[in-house]
Structure 1
Amino acid sequence: MAHHQQAGHPPQGTTSSRDGALARERVPWRTRLIYGSGDLFGGGAYNIINFYYLIFLTDVAHVRPALAGIIVLASRIWDAVSDPLMGSITDRTRSRFGRRRPYFLAGSVLIFLAFALHWYAPAFASETARFAYALFSYIFFATVFTLVMVPYSALAAEITLDYHERTRLNSVRLAFSLGAGVAAALVPMPIVRAFPTPQEGYLAMGIIFGLLFAAPWPVIFLHIRERPELQTPLPSQAAAQPAFRRWTRFFLEPLQVRAFRLLVGMHLTAYLTIDVLSALFAYYATYSLGRPGMLNLLLGAVVISQILFLPVYTRLSRRLSKGGAWRVGALVTGAGTAALYLVPPEVPGWLLYGLAAWVGAGLSGACMLPWAIFPDVTDVGELAFGERREGSFSGLMTFFRKVASAVALFIVSLILDLSGYVAPESAGSAAQLQPESFVQATRLLLSFLPVLLLGLGSVAARRFPLSPERHRQLLAHLAHRRVRGLDSPEARRVQAELERALV
């Protein structure tokens, strides 16, 4: 458990220089595990949605693919307001529980309710009514996700300042996320099939997973603490600004930081890749390979491989830097998805599972490393703005993550319509024959869109400027500046040098 420290003293397990810069810091395993458990919701919920929600809307809720895409896209327009706004709100929150923790307690009940309603398919005769309910439930879920996950992601930068400990912390977080992803791949369909109708099955699945996702948050609220030396008072000039101007400032200013823009490039392309693969895999297995019964195990192979390779990328990040390790993951993923295009329907099952595991091995780095880099970038934000804005950075990261999902699902839904998708005659049917144009469109998107996206992300990763050595220099300068300000020509020189490199 993380403990409160007196202001001006480093946490237990650290040493400090004369200026207060941390020389060594170890995060206890208990803290890693409790913090990481929150991403059961962050990763698990979106894995289930990405794997099954589009096909749930089209085949069970009977909403046309184009309307299903509009549902996701409309919720992201709302996210354009709510995510950065939540980042600003959590940065400006001052309470005896800190800036982040009050929202974890509030989210405990809301997570369960929002996720359960997300999978309810009302038997309305009107497609307009079905569309309206799906739109409402998706926006409600997106709002609850923002309420909890924006402050949660910001908290990582406040648990430890150590470059490599942040990678370990986020590795544990991603292990929980991917563990939930394994459950998301393997468990939902058996639950759904255990009930007389898909409508009952999907609702039961939503209730069960809603309880699972809500469970960690009271424990996180009780046991995780924010670093007191980073709980700075609100700047008086910011408090005096009109609310709209404060919101636009907190939204736009992080984008002025070069290191953050490059991180967004890596994060966005990685999660667009993940969302494209997640949305299309069900159609690929069902209609291209003609093996719907293998879907759960194929998805399970992807996610289990992601978990197994987390230690590999943790070590690679120490040798190559975090950006270099990300490029390795991008290369492995692109090679694996390109190979899927060459797979004929009669290919042996073991080869399919091997390719799925290969793709998962690459995605492991693409998933984990942007969030391992994120706390380091918030340190650059303190360099640039003179105050901690983890919430604002987190709000933008969550926003871009959701935009990636919306764009991916909207593109996929349009292509399903335009390429001739034919809905099953009855809910839950998997035997519907699809035209060749649809099958080819699915294979091309699944195989080569990730190659294009990850190629663009690799350009950003190659240019990312924050090495372990540079980060140590940054932390030492920030610790000095918090105590003494820019009190000497040397401090001003280091400030200017770091700004040129990172901002």
Structure 2
Amino acid sequence: MQLTSPAQRKVGLRTKLAYGFGSIAYGIKDNGFQTLLLLYYNQIVGLRADLVGLAILIALVLDAFVDPIVGHFSDHTRAGWGRRHPFMYAAAVPVGLLYLLLWNPPTGNQTVTLIYLVGVAIAVRTAISCYEVPSSALAPELTADYAERTSVLGYRYLFGWAGGMVMTLLTFIVLLAPTPQYPNGQLNPAGYHTYAWIAAIAMTAAILISSLGTHDQIRHLPRANPERTSLGETFRGIGRTLGNRAFLMLFVSGIFGFTAQGLTFALSVYVNTYFWVFPAKIVGLFIVAVMAGVVIAFGIASFGTRKWGKRPTGVTVMVLYPIFGVLPFVMRFAGLYPVNGDPLLFPLLMLNVAIATSFGVAGSILGASMMSDVVEDAQQQTGRRSEGLYFAGMFFMQKCVSGLGLYLTGVILALVHFPTGATPGTVKPEVLRNLVTTYGGALVALGLLAAYFVHRFPLGGRAEHERRLAELARAESHAAPLPGSESEFPGEELTDRGGRLNPAE
């Protein structure tokens, strides 16, 4: 595949905002699947909880295999709108319609409902993949600048987390608020139906706004002359990604890092409810601290990239994440933390959650930015740019390990003999101590393993990145012109590596 590399240029704020805005769709979908779908289909629709879990698992496993296929075909698409935007535009309306259908199943027959849930859940996740994978692959194409890539991806994570969290807050505080008919608002079917409409419209709008807002950047993106590939060659290409050592280090680090985040997410309700003994309305407020942490993470990742480089900053934040995650428990056992019921306890924990979240999310942003740099390393080795394939590989990993955090939660609860149907304040102190000790040990181990493999990431900092780009530029300057490159983007002039118009090229 012949192509030109992306320009080393600054990306305008409007483009960054538009690019990041689209990840609201993924954030809403992710939070909906994690926090609402099981509750809705079990308590409202009446489907057995184990069947709902099985349906979600089937959709998750199949979706993990869809991502690399979408990424590979996106890499090999040739169209007037480039390689990414055709997929992004095509996904917008199906994402909204399918998400709406997900929350309006047929009822009365559990078998029919189960088949419906499996089919629509797969369709929703596939439609989201058709946007998310090409859109993620767009980041390294927007700019080859070492630090600018971290900034671009920071906006993506910021909007993704914000979209999911804001929608979750709106749902629990407003749409599922208690009413005279439903004192337990989480059992009100009307709230879920309203949620479905709002979420579907927001997801479609986010994708369209992002696609339209980045459309004018198509002229800056690499031009490719894709080769025809069979489905077998597609999967062989997926396997080849693991042959790139830089990709492999990020892949393995991600297994441990995302498992740690999943474990924290799953156990936080137990810890806040039974160890710190907070009521439900207070537990919900921790979302505010999480969002504050996401905003801080954006600054940490951008500043760290410019000041120290991606790898050293990534290692540092991945070590600090579990340290701050277990700090309140260590201080409580040392007698240095407020007791339950003390007015200082909640604000101190909010601060700690914000700090820990900032390090965890900063690690994710830096990992995605380093993955963007892997693209040039792979191009140097193979002569091909495969942004879609490499980012799809990371999505594949994330989805395969997303259930590990939940699984570990169940294992830990079983190991410490945590009682079922327990009332806050009545669980034995030794059980609670064993719970947070086991959780803390697992979190530290996972965090340190994630940091270790990032430390083994073989690509250097900015200087090495600049040398690699220069070598690729020299190689491209001796390459034959792209067949049909003048007609692929009619009426547009090619740009040089600095992003300036170059009519003579």
Aligned pair partner of 2:152 in 157, 169, 173 = 169
Partner residue in 2 for 1:493: none
Are the structure 2 counterparts of residues 276 and 333 from structure 1 closer, same or farther at C-alpha, using a change threshold of 3 Å?
same
CA distance in 2, matches of 1:355, 1:58: 34
Shift of 1:409: 3.1
- 1:396 corresponds to: 393
User: Which of 65, 68, 93 is 2:77 aligned to?
Assistant: 93
Does 1:377 pair with 2:361? Answer: no
Match of 1:203 among 154, 175, 193: 193
Q: Provide the rounded CA distance (Å) in 1 between the counterparts of 2:117 and 2:368.
A: 30
Q: What amino acid is aligned across from residue 26 of structure 1 in structure 2?
A: K
The question of whether the paired residues in 2 share the 8 Å contact of 1:185 and 1:300 is answered with: no
Instruction: Show structure 1 runs of 5+ residues with no match.
Output: 1-6, 12-21, 425-429, 487-503
What's the CA shift for 1:115?
Answer: 3.0
Q: Which amino acid aligns with 2:442?
A: L
Taking a change above 3 Å as real, the CA distance of residues 114 and 332 of structure 1, as seen in their structure-2 partners, is farther
Match of 2:299 among 282, 305, 311: 311
* Post-superposition offset of 1:113: 2.6
* Residue in 1 that maps onto 2:66: 82
Residue 482, structure 1, aligned to residue 465, structure 2: no
1:379-410 Cα distance to aligned partner (Å, 9 max, x none)? 11211211111111121111112112133234
CA contact (8 A) 1:60 1:121 kept: no
Query: Is the contact made by 2:27 and 2:160 (CA closer than 8 Å) also made in structure 1?
Result: yes
Contact 2:5 2:222 in 1 (8 A): no
The amino acid across from 2:149 in the alignment is R
- Of stretches 70-79 and 386-395 in structure 1, the one that deviates more from structure 2 is 70-79
Instruction: Give the aligned residue type for 1:469.
Output: A
Pair 1:233 & 2:220 matched: no
**Identity percentage over the alignment?**
23
Q: Per-residue deviation at 1:133?
A: 4.2
Q: Contact conserved, 1:75 with 1:135, CA < 8 A, in 2?
A: yes
Checking the alignment, whether the CA contact within 8 Å between 2:20 and 2:153 is kept in structure 1 is: yes
Once the two structures are superposed, residues 273-321 of structure 1 have per-residue CA deviations (whole angstroms, 9 ceiling, x without a partner) of 2222223333433454352111221122122222123212211122222
The answer to whether 1:281 aligns with 2:268 is yes
Cα distance in 2, alignment partners of residues 431 and 139 from structure 1 = 37
CA-to-aligned-CA distance 1:315-361 (integer Å, 9 cap, x gap): 11222221211222222220222135456654532222122222222
Normalised by the length of structure 1, the TM-score is 0.80
- 1:170-225 per-residue CA deviation (whole Å, 9 max, x = no partner) reads 12222212322441452221122266433332332232122222212223333423
Cα drift, residue 123 of structure 1: 5.4
Matched ranges for 1:46-85 at <5 A: 46-53=30-37, 66-85=50-69
Q: 1:324 aligns with which of 312, 326, 342?
A: 312
Give, in whole Å, the separation in 1 of the partners of 2:434 and 2:368: 32
Alignment of 1:294-309 (within 5 A): 294-309=282-297
After superposition, residues 441-480 of structure 1 pair within 5 angstroms as: 443=436, 446-466=439-459, 467-480=461-474
Q: Aligned residue for 2:351?
A: 354
Work out whether residues 119 and 202 of structure 1, in 8 Å CA contact, stay in contact via their aligned partners in 2. Answer: yes
Q: How far apart in 2 are the matches of 1:174 and 1:356?
A: 18
Aligned residue number for residue 205 of structure 2: 215
Give the letter for the 2:296 counterpart. Answer: L
**Following the alignment from structure 2 to structure 1, what is the Cα–Cα distance between the partners of residues 317 and 32?**
23
Deviation at 1:143, TM superposition (A): 1.2
C-alpha distance in 2 between matches for 1:81 and 1:479: 34
With over 3 angstroms needed to count, the CA separation of the structure-2 counterparts of 1:435 and 1:211, relative to structure 1, is farther
Other-structure match for 1:386:
383
Deviation readout 1:233-261 (Å, 9 max, x if unpaired): 124xxx3x6x2321222211111111111
Q: Tell me whether 191-200 or 331-340 shows the greater mean CA deviation.
A: 191-200
Contact 1:80 1:399 in 2 (8 A): yes
Partner Cα distance (1:436, 1:356) in 2: 23
How far residue 27 of structure 1 moved from its aligned partner, in angstroms, is 0.9
CA distance in 2, matches of 1:433, 1:108: 49
Q: Supply the distance in 1 between the matched residues of 2:164 and 2:129 (Cα, whole angstroms).
A: 20
The answer as to whether partners of 1:270 and 1:453 remain within 8 angstroms in 2 is yes
Q: Secondary structure at the match of 1:464?
A: coil
Provide structure 2 residue ranges, at least 5 long, that are not aligned to the other structure.
333-338, 481-505
Aligned pair in 2 of structure 1 residues 337, 223: CA closer, same or farther (>3 Å)?
Answer: closer
Q: Deviations over 1:401-450 (max 9, x none)?
A: 211213323444576688577479xxxxx989889999678645653433
Total equivalences in the alignment: 457
Partner in structure 1 of residue 254 of structure 2: 267
**Match of 2:23?**
39
Which amino acid is the alignment partner of residue 205 of structure 2? A
The equivalent of 1:256 in structure 2 is: 243
Matched AA of 2:188:
P
CA displacement, residues 471-501 of structure 1 (integer Å, 9 cap, x when unaligned): 1111111111112259xxxxxxxxxxxxxxx
Give the Å deviation of 1:460: 1.0
What code does the residue aligned with 1:317 have? T
Asked if 1 retains the 8 angstrom alpha-carbon contact of 2:59 and 2:121, the reply is: yes
Contact 2:262–2:404, Cα closer than 8 Å, also in 1: no
Task: Name the aligned partner's letter for residue 76 of structure 1.
Answer: L
Deviation at 1:89, TM superposition (A): 1.4
When structure 1 is superposed on structure 2, of 330-339 and 43-52 the one drifting more is: 43-52
Deviations 1:79-129 (A, max 9, x none): 242111111111122222211111222211122233334445765474x56
